[in-house]
A and B are shown apart, each in its own frame.
Chain A
Amino acid sequence: MNRIFRGFRAILYKEFIVVGRDPMTLFFMFFPPLVQLLAFGFALDMDVKHLSTVVLDEDRTAHSRKLIESFVNTRTFRVTGEVGSVREMEELIRQGKAYVGLQIPPDFSRHLAAGRNAQIQVLIDGSSSSIASSALNTALNLAFRQSALTLLPQTGRRDLPVEVRPQILYNPAMRSPNFFVPGVIALVLQIATVFATAMSLVRERERGTLEQLLVSPLSRWGLMLGKLAPYLLIGMTMGAGVFGIMVWVFHVPIAGSLSALAVATFFYVFALLSLGLLISTRAQNQMQALQMTMVFMLPSVFFSGFIFPRETMPWIFQAIGALLPATYFIELNRAIVLRGAHFLEFWPTLLILAVMAAGLFVLCAARFRRKFA
């Protein structure tokens, strides 16, 4: 044991001093992720609410006003003004001043009273697909419900034949932060930790101190573990910080066990730090290390299930996602934080993450050359 990790305690001693004496590195480890978390968390709000809507009411009856009111009552729409013509309505949408235009033709209430087909026109800005589909669904739903309720007295029934009683589990208010923040935490931890270890070994290479280490009896396991341990502590502290922000700033409660979350974070951070070390065994300078770190960033955003569900991706992207630690950490996060899942339900994912952490560590120590050529 002592032979394998020879020199570990010396490296640990030095790393703690170096990290502690270099406030800029600590600052750049902590500060940007914090800003990213807050920015991501607040900006990634996919709840479509209060879309600015302009109205062209040519009917001007109690019926038409009631219809507009029921649009507003869905809380998807918010009337921001009235216009005099369809052209004006289109112009406002094109200028981006309104997302939705609602036109009620002059004969709307007349047709309705006569039992004829009464039409209204809804213009929707389709340039943002999630907003458009949300607005469209709400409008169609509203029309169907209005129609059904109008026809109901004629059938002699008192209520609608079929009614859905939805119950949203685990995130009853369907708030975006609950969905996004656990994923954002995974990314924020990744940016800070991979970078930290990748830089720390490359800096020694650039300065020439690595050579000095290589002529000593220090073992590569001792070197790697000594490099990793201080950042593991920092990473866990950062993890506690970002989960704190999740609970107290974004009001996303942790439904499951805190210790399970801590264990998941431990393995995740360990895997990322090992990934950083793996990068540092290949990067010749800090610029290369930075670029290699970035290579892992984009797939982690797109293929980890952070924004887009992995199940619907082509197999190649699913496969890439399956190689990323972030994928498993996000899965664990959602299971523990949102669903309050039990250990028996998520242990396979945790095991994969643990194996990844151990595998990456072994790989970086194995690939690290004690010789330069």
Chain B
Amino acid sequence: MPAETMIECERLTKRFGHFTAVDGVSFSVAKGSIFGFLGPNGSGKSTVIRMLCGLLEPSAGQARIAGFDVAREPDRIKNLIGYMSQKFSLYDELTVHENLIFYGRLYGLSGAELTKRHDELIALTHLEPYLTRRASVLSGGWRQRLAMACSLIHQPSVLFLDEPTAGIDPVARRELWDLLFEFSSRGMTLFVTTHYMDEAERCSHVGYIHMSKLVVCGDPDHLKQLPVVNPPGTKRLDVTCDHVTVGLQAVRHERGVHGATVFGQSMHLLVDAGLPEQFLRDKLAAVNIHQADIRPIAPSLEDVFVALTANNDGGGK
């Protein structure tokens, strides 16, 4: 039985003058899933989020949240959604406690109910020691937690997070994701934009937007099996060696090598299935790289997006 659909976009389009920021994007997000929305800067990620939150009017197409049209019934969705913007917009003059109380009241909460939600969120985000601190003195990680608590005070069914981990240290990032999984297990739908591939790997579904168009959308494991990612007669190799950028130059234009990208201390190659390992070792030896560890790998999400973007650009020309 298919899960209940929470977010649904149909050919959603946003034009600013002659510039099309979002071009006919269609996808749907099931209730309780974590949807990772990826794409380079300026590709239209934030514009999609802002249309879904009712901050921007779509130029064409439709978007529905829990069945309500975002453009025509904005008041029906406001209580259903929470939004955490890129800037963690908080009131710097207000303390942690006051920020939460303010957002609670904004959603019509008061009295014992407000106190209960406040205490729950403080416990969940471990903000107790900072209750009387002003938001202005909090560090990035704590600001992010507070912003998240504020966007959750009214118990939304869908939480939109626009690059929630930008500029946050790795520990805070890990803890935020732990929280997200917890919310997801309680049935909350999460819509997260991110730049980090490791975060994308943790999502139950991902969408990749490039040049205003949705290139692909689906579950990460499924995407890695796509034929365009694994062209017939090819294999993916991880080559770990010294001077990896020099090595990359040595092999990338050789016959039989279709793609080469650096990943930290190694490079990922897409080569003909029949390409002998020794061929690569010889090429590397020619540039004085005599030690190389070569092993076959499965495609990563990044490989998926690189392949799909290249395919998309090629198809467009």
Contacts and interface: CB of A to CB of B under 8 A. Distances in A.
Interface string B63-84: 0000000000011001101110
Interface residues of B, number: 34
B81 A215 contact: yes
A372 B105 CA distance: 24
| Chain A CB within 10 Å, residue with most, of B87, B91, B101 | B91
A9 B108 CA distance: 9
A279 B53 CA distance: 26
Contacts of B85: 208, 211-212
Contact of B56 (A10, A14, A373): A373
Nearest to A7: B106
A158 interface: no
A209 B53 contact: no
B93 A211 contact: no
Given A6-B108, A7-B106, A17-B98, A215 B83 contact: yes
A214 B90 contact: no
Contact of A18 (B93, B106, B107, B151): B93
| Chain B CB within 10 Å, residue with most, of A14, A22, A370 | A14
B55 A371 contact: yes
Contact of B53 (A11, A13, A215): A215
A79 interface: no
A371 B54 contact: yes
| Chain A CB within 10 Å, residue with most, of B83, B85, B108, B151 | B108
B55 A211 contact: yes
A213 B106 contact: yes
A209 B91 contact: yes
| Chain A CB within 10 Å, residue with most, of B16, B55, B98, B151 | B55
Nearest to B90: A209
Contacts of A371: 54-57
12 contacts: A10-B103, A13-B102, A13-B105, A209-B90, A212-B151, A216-B103, A217-B107, A218-B106, A371-B54, A371-B57, A372-B50, A372-B56
A-B pairs, 4 with minimum CB distance: A10-B105, A208-B89, A208-B87, A21-B93
A95 B136 CA distance: 59
Given A10-B102, A373-B56, A216 B93 contact: no
Nearest to B147: A212
Contacts of A13: 101-102, 105
Interface in A319-357: none
A27 to B, nearest CB: 15
Given A207-B87, A208-B87, A373 B57 contact: yes
B94 A370 contact: no
Contacts of B151: 212
Interface of A: 6-7, 9-11, 13-14, 17-18, 21-22, 207-209, 211-218, 370-373
Given A7-B108, A370-B54, 9 more contacts: A9-B105, A10-B106, A21-B94, A214-B54, A214-B55, A215-B55, A216-B103, A370-B74, A371-B55
Contacts of A17: 93-94, 98
A215 to B, nearest CB: 4
Interface in B270-306: none
Nearest to B87: A208
| Chain B CB within 10 Å, residue with most, of A9, A211, A370 | A211
Nearest to B88: A208
B157 to A, nearest CB: 14
A212 B50 CA distance: 11
A214 to B, nearest CB: 6
A213 B150 CA distance: 11
A218 B105 CA distance: 10
B232 to A, nearest CB: 46
A370 B74 CA distance: 10
A37 to B, nearest CB: 29
B89 A212 contact: yes
| Chain A CB within 10 Å, residue with most, of B79, B81, B86, B92 | B92
Nearest to A14: B102
Interface string B100-123: 011101111000000000000000
Contacts of B101: 13
B202 to A, nearest CB: 25
Contacts of A7: 105-106, 108
B94 to A, nearest CB: 6
Interface in B44-62: 50, 53-57
Contacts of B103: 10, 212, 216
A18 B82 CA distance: 24
Nearest to B50: A372
Contacts of B87: 207-208
A202 B226 CA distance: 49
Contacts of B83: 211-212, 215
A370 B57 CA distance: 10
A29 B105 CA distance: 28
Contacts of A212: 83, 85, 89, 103, 150-151
Nearest to A213: B106
Contacts of B89: 207-209, 211-212
A217 B105 CA distance: 11
A217 B94 contact: no
A208 B46 CA distance: 14
Contacts of B75: 217
Nearest to B156: A215
B272 to A, nearest CB: 50
Nearest to A25: B93
A11 B105 CA distance: 9
B79 A217 contact: yes
A152 to B, nearest CB: 78
Interface in B9-42: 16
B61 to A, nearest CB: 16
Interface string B170-188: 0000000000000000000
A18 B78 CA distance: 25
A100 B105 CA distance: 71
Nearest to A18: B93
A367 to B, nearest CB: 16
Nearest to A214: B55
A13 B91 CA distance: 12
A18 B105 contact: no
Contacts of A14: 91, 94, 98, 102
